[in-house]
Structure 1
Amino acid sequence: MGPSMIVALSRAAAFTGAIILLVFGMLYTETHSDVAWLLLLLFCGILMMYAILPRMSDSVPHVNSTIVSIGAICMVGFLLMTVQLVRIQIVQADEISQRSASVADGSVVQDPRNRTRDRDVARGRILTRDEDVVADTVEREGGVFERTYPNPHLSYLAGYHSPALFGNTQLESVYDETLMGREGGNPFNEWLDQVLHRTRHGYDIQLTVDSELQRLGYDLLGDRDGSIVVMDAETGAIYAMVSKPHIDPNRLYAGYGPNMDQQVSEASEYWVQVTESEGSPLLFRPTQGLYAPGSVFKTVTAASVLEHGLADPSTVFRNEGALVVGSHVIEEQNLPDDGRVSFTLSESYGYSLNVVFADLGIRLGRERLSETARQFGFESTIPFDFQVSQSRISSNPEYLDADIGLAETGFGQGQLFATPLQIAMTTQAVVNNGMMSEPFLMHRIRDNEGVVLSETRPSSWQEAVDSSIASELQQIMIESVESGWATDAQISGAVVGGKTGTAEVGDRTPHAWYTGFAGQDEPRFVISVIVEHGGGGGAVALPIAREMLVMAMDRID
């Protein structure tokens, strides 16, 4: 290969690389800042100059080579300018149009077209499955529409809508175009509304949440911080999703009406209040809260033991009250009888014996225990209506290389962190033949006349374990309620299974956990409850879960 061929190939590679970088920068514009994008443009310009600038022989007059160089520079410059204009006017158009800034007097400066666009749209409602209002739009004097959230036990599910200041979050963000009537219906009618400047009515979103079940969870948590998730054992539909503490989205609303400056000022003051609050009310705990799971993780450990053939539910283990792991001693706190030392796997789960599950964690080893946890969704992004934090097995990859790390993880401590939704889905997999369903909040979209435009179809996500192991785990959870520490979860005439958890959090009072299922003839509802620093799971979280499951069976067909 001669020198000229090498030069030609390097020029082609430079030009191709520049195009690839530009396409990547355009498609993934949200992953980098404007400064990074401009530096990328500069670098691509250098690559293109190298690719297209011809080599001039010494016989070519200097003025001619200068003209060629200037032409190449202009051509590359115009090309990069075109790319920048496409990025600004098409790719980033919506983001740029929503930008705002506060000036010295506290007023907000923003694209004035947004004021008329959003102010004159009757934004769609967000409703529960039983038609209670999560978010509504009311018309004020002068034909200006404002967003309201009339029910405190439901309001925070929507997130917040603050068009003149903070934008949108959660459902208000994910379904913004639908709520504004710009997508989800008849495209021709939506276009015609814009062309004729007719008052648009956004589309309503109906959730799977039951208002009364949500209210009960809200009342049961009281002034305690925590979360409750109730979901359908088969479809993944969310019937309740309680989070405390939470924001009041009414106080974050700032629109484009005549009271905009006052609303901006009040919303800004409230924002400072909630962001400085120790309780983190902006954190939506069911999907974003990460907690040490404690003994509710033993479902995953038991699944791994069964999956890899280390034991079956009737296998007997010795528990003499302590387990020495290197220089550490794990003491048993949950023995039902100090004189008893032999327990089956099912009994060890029901009595939440840490010594047995610590030993099982060591026997499983890093690869097998981690593999099973990932099958249940740990370290994956759960598909949901809005963002879910990833539950994790360990923060340090080397932690599970040591026996003490495996032991502590085996009984639910160590470096484990899980969301309440993750724990509910773990139980859901147990009662759904080992299959995890995609959880969902949005049930259907309707127009302002009540015509259904679309509905969510339940779908599977991933298989956690095969159906035979899921069946064994389900029976183990039932026996935990029948004869273990979760006997208070029993409901007359119902099939009930569950697991209590008490998660240690340093020197503070432990988190109280409970996860389980219930149904008349077979498991129908799945629940996870966490009360932050609440104490024992059996005494604190379990009673909440039982009341929620009783109401769910009574109210939901």
Structure 2
Amino acid sequence: MKSTTRFNFLLYGMYLCLLIVSAGLFRTQVINGSDYREASERNRIRLIRREAPRGNIYDRNGLPVATNRPALYAYIIPEDFDPKDIPELSPLLGLTEWDIRQRISKARGASFTPVLLKSDLSLDTAMQIEEKRPKFSGVFIQVKAIRFYPQHETAAHVVGYIGKMTKEEYEKLDHSVYGYDSWIGRSGIERLYDQMLRGEDGGVQLEVNARGVPINVLSEKDVTVGHDLYISIDANFESKVRPLLAGQKGAILVGDIKTGGLLTAISTPGFDPNVFVTPEQKKERLDVIGSKEKPLLNRGFNGLYPPGSVFKLLTAIAGLETGVITPHTTFTCRGFFKLNRKSRPYKCWYKGGHGRVDFYRALERSCNVYFYNVGRLLGEKRLAEYARKFGFGSPVDLSFPNVSGVVPDQEWKKKAVHDQWYTGDTISFAIGQGYLLVSPLQILQMVTTIATDGRVSKPLLIFDKNEPSKTELGIHPETFKALKQGMLQVVQSDYGTGQLARVDFEKLAGKTGTAQAPPGLPHAWMGAFFPYEDPKIAIVVFVERGKSGGIAAANMVKEVVRIWNEAYGTAVI
């Protein structure tokens, strides 16, 4: 009886064990079967992403300013790699063992995702790794396109540069579009048109053996190269103009009046965007980023400065349009101006005084006293109104980042400075000083507007041969006629402040400016259009701490016109 009972217990125990084993098998094969199959597939299959080459960026004449060159990259799939091979791999890559371990342990989007070990390998290094590839399981070489900027500093602030995305950026973006090591536009056209330039990535699905060595290609998806873009900049023209600002901070902008396209947008000091895409140039890259000279600042678009006497053009327009002056209105300059007998004197740049001057002579000789009087008659509200009418105080409609600037008035001063507005503020405003801040791009827009008799065309950076749309400002033709005559005398008269810009093959019209900016030296400005009779180009030269617009800026305008004339003659393509 006892043996029968023991037998039954043993039998029931065996049944229970079989039941437990069966339940485990059911759970493994049925409930979790799909998970294990997926894990098995991941162990057997590798997905290698192929990043699409970015589209090229060309200047207006088809010269590449951003393109690609082939480069060799070393990748590793950590799950397939045996760490004991690190000492042998290290000298081949020129990396320390610690560097390789750091890269292998780097966070990734998913398991079996390749990790970049080193970019832009030499052909010799790549061949040595390929020869030992059976030993270095999980390590492979891939040919990819690396960005290259063949014109170096030329057009760099417009073209911009690309950079590798951060982990935070990757987590926010669509993983079907961006890989963990993708490069994205960081500034300029590269950033603004990143989606268009980057194309569509492809890839290959590989079957590997137990050691991670590829044995079969299961499927492939071709990459779609990004779209090409053409910008309005003339790289050859810009490369000849750029040396004029060598060793100085400043900007030179030249606009095609007929199409609205910018022919050149120079900002100095500049930078070579190749330092941001070439691994070996880390020191140069850090030097650019940390430089006190701020080479990454686009001074033409995003620099803010007092315009000085260049702004007298706007004051003149406001005075003529409102009727507070006519071209024949005269004021007497004794070298200074007083609001009343007890006020402090506001000086003219010419200490001896210009005597009795009319509108044309006031522009020609840039008489401060004349425009002090015009400013007092206008008042700050009308000055600010016309300044905004011509685009000051707002970004230029360029489809490219640029600053707003400051157009001061009573309300602005109360909020920004917590003080009331004084008449002295108004007369300083009238000659482009005080709280007024503008960018060279805004001055270029004003000069272009004057040259076209008030027909404002939207400036362009993406090249378009179509006729640009124009907006009428509603300024009387007689106002522009008088203004342009005064600008002509600035250059063509022997008493004009811009006479050093004069060329002997055609008439040029312009306006100089020497803007006080304590505690340093004054800034030098000149805005001009050429030729006078049928304007083709508008020019703005700005030299930070350049001392004198009539000397530093005027000389550069002359050279810009000479270079342009040699390149284009009398017609912009």
Give the alignment's TM-score, normalised by structure 2. 0.67
The amino acid of 1:176's aligned partner reads D
Equivalent-residue separation in structure 2 for 1:400 and 1:461 (angstroms):
36
Alignment deviations for residues 516-556 of structure 1 (CA, whole Å, 9 cap, x no partner): 01127411110000111111111101111111122223323
1:477 counterpart residue number = 487
1:487 counterpart residue number = 499
Equivalent-residue separation in structure 2 for 1:234 and 1:501 (angstroms):
26
1:139 counterpart residue number = 70
Closer, same or farther: CA 314–216 of 1 in aligned 2, 3 Å: farther
2:196 counterpart residue number = 178
* CA apart distance, 1:164: 3.5
1:218 counterpart residue number = 242
Equivalent-residue separation in structure 2 for 1:400 and 1:205 (angstroms):
50
1:343 counterpart residue number = 357
* CA apart distance, 1:270: 5.0
1:204-243 to 2 correspondence within 5 Å?
Answer: 204-243=228-267
Q: Does the 8 A contact of 1:493 with 1:520 survive in 2?
A: no
Closer, same or farther: CA 377–400 of 1 in aligned 2, 3 Å: farther
Equivalent-residue separation in structure 2 for 1:423 and 1:339 (angstroms):
28
Q: Does the 8 A contact of 2:509 with 2:532 survive in 1?
A: no
Equivalent-residue separation in structure 2 for 1:138 and 1:156 (angstroms):
21
Residue 329, structure 1, aligned to residue 353, structure 2: no
Closer, same or farther: CA 205–400 of 1 in aligned 2, 3 Å: farther
* CA apart distance, 1:428: 0.5
Equivalent-residue separation in structure 1 for 2:276 and 2:358 (angstroms):
54
Equivalent-residue separation in structure 1 for 2:68 and 2:188 (angstroms):
17
Closer, same or farther: CA 196–313 of 1 in aligned 2, 3 Å: farther
Work out which of the residue numbers 405, 426, 438 in structure 2 matches 1:418. 438
> Any idea what SS the aligned residue of 1:156 has?
helix
> Any idea what SS the aligned residue of 2:53 has?
coil
Equivalent-residue separation in structure 1 for 2:406 and 2:456 (angstroms):
17
Q: Does the 8 A contact of 2:384 with 2:408 survive in 1?
A: no
Q: Does the 8 A contact of 1:319 with 1:341 survive in 2?
A: yes
* CA apart distance, 1:203: 1.8
Work out which of the residue numbers 159, 162, 169 in structure 1 matches 2:187. 169
Equivalent-residue separation in structure 1 for 2:311 and 2:353 (angstroms):
27
1:250-289 to 2 correspondence within 5 Å?
Answer: 250-253=274-277, 267=282, 270=284, 272-289=286-303
1:500 counterpart residue number = 512
Q: Does the 8 A contact of 1:503 with 1:510 survive in 2?
A: yes
1:333-372 to 2 correspondence within 5 Å?
Answer: 333-334=349-350, 338=352, 340-372=354-386
Work out which of the residue numbers 130, 147, 163 in structure 1 matches 2:61. 130
Alignment deviations for residues 432-467 of structure 1 (CA, whole Å, 9 cap, x no partner): 1112211111115xxxxxxxxxx6652235627343
> Any idea what SS the aligned residue of 2:338 has?
strand
Closer, same or farther: CA 394–271 of 1 in aligned 2, 3 Å: farther
Q: Does the 8 A contact of 2:328 with 2:358 survive in 1?
A: yes
The amino acid of 1:124's aligned partner reads G
Equivalent-residue separation in structure 2 for 1:170 and 1:422 (angstroms):
18
More helix by share: 1
Closer, same or farther: CA 196–357 of 1 in aligned 2, 3 Å: farther
Residue 427, structure 1, aligned to residue 447, structure 2: yes
The amino acid of 1:180's aligned partner reads R
1:317 counterpart residue number = 331
The amino acid of 1:469's aligned partner reads T
Alignment deviations for residues 347-402 of structure 1 (CA, whole Å, 9 cap, x no partner): 11111111111221111001110110001101122111311101222284347831
1:398-417 to 2 correspondence within 5 Å?
Answer: 398=414, 401-417=421-437
Q: Does the 8 A contact of 1:134 with 1:157 survive in 2?
A: no
2:130 counterpart residue number = none
Alignment deviations for residues 145-172 of structure 1 (CA, whole Å, 9 cap, x no partner): 1101122223332111113457421100
Equivalent-residue separation in structure 1 for 2:238 and 2:538 (angstroms):
14
Q: Does the 8 A contact of 1:124 with 1:179 survive in 2?
A: yes
Q: Does the 8 A contact of 2:498 with 2:511 survive in 1?
A: yes
Work out which of the residue numbers 468, 483, 493 in structure 2 matches 1:458. 468
**Structure 1 gaps, min length 5:** 1-111, 183-194, 255-261, 445-454
Q: Does the 8 A contact of 2:543 with 2:553 survive in 1?
A: yes
* CA apart distance, 1:329: 1.5
The amino acid of 1:240's aligned partner reads T
> Any idea what SS the aligned residue of 2:379 has?
helix
Compute the RMSD of aligned alpha carbons. 2.6
Equivalent-residue separation in structure 2 for 1:474 and 1:393 (angstroms):
24
Q: Does the 8 A contact of 2:455 with 2:473 survive in 1?
A: yes
* CA apart distance, 1:477: 0.8
* CA apart distance, 1:419: 0.6
Aligned residues: 410
Point out the more displaced range, 522-531 or 473-482: 473-482
2:538 counterpart residue number = 526
Closer, same or farther: CA 321–236 of 1 in aligned 2, 3 Å: same
Residue 203, structure 1, aligned to residue 227, structure 2: yes
The amino acid of 2:567's aligned partner reads R
Q: Does the 8 A contact of 1:231 with 1:525 survive in 2?
A: yes
Alignment deviations for residues 8-30 of structure 1 (CA, whole Å, 9 cap, x no partner): xxxxxxxxxxxxxxxxxxxxxxx
> Any idea what SS the aligned residue of 1:144 has?
strand
Point out the more displaced range, 291-300 or 323-332: 323-332
Q: Does the 8 A contact of 2:335 with 2:354 survive in 1?
A: no
Equivalent-residue separation in structure 1 for 2:353 and 2:516 (angstroms):
26
* CA apart distance, 1:233: 2.1
The amino acid of 1:116's aligned partner reads R
Closer, same or farther: CA 205–340 of 1 in aligned 2, 3 Å: closer
Q: Does the 8 A contact of 2:499 with 2:550 survive in 1?
A: no
Equivalent-residue separation in structure 2 for 1:302 and 1:533 (angstroms):
26
Point out the more displaced range, 498-507 or 160-169: 160-169
Closer, same or farther: CA 253–523 of 1 in aligned 2, 3 Å: same
Equivalent-residue separation in structure 1 for 2:521 and 2:479 (angstroms):
35
The amino acid of 1:227's aligned partner reads A
Point out the more displaced range, 365-374 or 121-130: 121-130
2:49 counterpart residue number = 116
Percentage of pairs with the same residue? 29
**Structure 2 gaps, min length 5:** 1-45, 73-141, 167-183, 201-218
Equivalent-residue separation in structure 1 for 2:353 and 2:426 (angstroms):
28
> Any idea what SS the aligned residue of 2:413 has?
coil
Equivalent-residue separation in structure 2 for 1:290 and 1:533 (angstroms):
13
Closer, same or farther: CA 342–155 of 1 in aligned 2, 3 Å: same
Closer, same or farther: CA 206–523 of 1 in aligned 2, 3 Å: same
The amino acid of 2:197's aligned partner reads L
Q: Does the 8 A contact of 2:335 with 2:350 survive in 1?
A: no
Please identify runs of 4+ aligned residues in structure 1 that moved more than 6 A. none
Equivalent-residue separation in structure 1 for 2:353 and 2:272 (angstroms):
53
